[in-house]
Amino acid sequence: MKHSKKFETKSVPAEPETPKLIPEDVDDSIQSIEEAAYYIGINRERYSHPGDHLNDWYEAEKAIRENED
Protein backbone atom coordinates (compact mmCIF):
# COMPACT_ATOMS: atom_id res chain seq x y z
CA MET A 1 0.00 0.00 0.00
CA LYS A 2 1.55 3.26 -1.11
CA HIS A 3 0.80 6.43 0.69
CA SER A 4 1.29 9.59 -1.17
CA LYS A 5 1.88 12.59 1.01
CA LYS A 6 2.15 16.04 -0.35
CA PHE A 7 4.21 18.50 1.59
CA GLU A 8 3.44 22.13 1.44
CA THR A 9 6.41 24.38 1.22
CA LYS A 10 6.21 27.66 2.98
CA SER A 11 8.46 30.49 2.11
CA VAL A 12 10.46 31.71 5.03
CA PRO A 13 10.63 35.48 5.28
CA ALA A 14 14.13 36.87 4.90
CA GLU A 15 15.72 38.07 8.07
CA PRO A 16 16.23 41.81 8.16
CA GLU A 17 19.80 42.92 7.70
CA THR A 18 21.65 43.50 10.90
CA PRO A 19 22.82 47.10 11.06
CA LYS A 20 26.57 47.47 10.98
CA LEU A 21 27.81 48.60 14.35
CA ILE A 22 31.23 49.62 13.09
CA PRO A 23 31.41 52.15 10.24
CA GLU A 24 33.22 50.95 7.12
CA ASP A 25 36.14 53.36 7.50
CA VAL A 26 36.75 52.16 11.06
CA ASP A 27 36.41 48.55 9.90
CA ASP A 28 39.07 49.21 7.22
CA SER A 29 41.35 50.75 9.86
CA ILE A 30 40.95 47.72 12.10
CA GLN A 31 41.85 45.42 9.21
CA SER A 32 44.93 47.53 8.45
CA ILE A 33 46.02 47.39 12.09
CA GLU A 34 45.44 43.63 12.22
CA GLU A 35 47.59 43.08 9.14
CA ALA A 36 50.36 45.37 10.36
CA ALA A 37 50.33 43.76 13.82
CA TYR A 38 50.60 40.34 12.21
CA TYR A 39 53.75 41.30 10.31
CA ILE A 40 55.23 43.09 13.32
CA GLY A 41 54.67 39.90 15.35
CA ILE A 42 56.24 37.73 12.64
CA ASN A 43 59.35 39.91 12.59
CA ARG A 44 59.46 40.10 16.38
CA GLU A 45 59.37 36.32 16.69
CA ARG A 46 61.83 35.80 13.84
CA TYR A 47 64.45 37.92 15.58
CA SER A 48 63.51 36.76 19.10
CA HIS A 49 62.63 40.25 20.29
CA PRO A 50 60.63 40.48 23.52
CA GLY A 51 57.00 41.43 23.32
CA ASP A 52 53.53 40.05 22.82
CA HIS A 53 50.51 40.33 20.56
CA LEU A 54 49.08 43.29 22.44
CA ASN A 55 52.27 45.29 22.03
CA ASP A 56 52.33 44.33 18.33
CA TRP A 57 48.80 45.77 18.05
CA TYR A 58 49.77 49.02 19.79
CA GLU A 59 52.86 49.41 17.64
CA ALA A 60 50.84 48.80 14.46
CA GLU A 61 48.15 51.25 15.55
CA LYS A 62 50.75 53.91 16.30
CA ALA A 63 52.51 53.40 12.95
CA ILE A 64 49.26 53.62 10.96
CA ARG A 65 48.12 56.75 12.78
CA GLU A 66 51.49 58.40 12.17
CA ASN A 67 51.21 57.59 8.45
CA GLU A 68 47.70 59.08 8.27
CA ASP A 69 48.92 62.49 9.46
Per-residue pLDDT of the chain (69 residues; tens, 9 = 90+): 566 666 676 776 777 776 666 677 777 889 999 999 999 999 999 999 999 999 999 999 999 989 887
Q: Does 32 fall in a domain?
A: yes
Tell me what pLDDT residue 5 has: 66
Contact 27, 7 (CB under 8 A): no
| pTM check: above 0.75 | no
- Angstrom distance (rounded) from CA 57 to CA 68: 17
Domain membership of residue 11 (yes or no) is no
Q: For residue 5, is it within any domain?
A: no
**Residue range of the domain that includes 59:** 24-68
Cα–chain-centroid distance for residue 44?
Answer: 22
Residue 18 lies in a domain: no
Give the pLDDT confidence score for residue 35 in this predicted structure.
95
pLDDT for res 43: 95
Please check whether residue 45 lies inside any domain of the structure. yes
Is 56 within a domain?
yes
Domain count across the chain: 1
Position 52 in a domain: yes
Residue 9 falls inside a structural domain: no
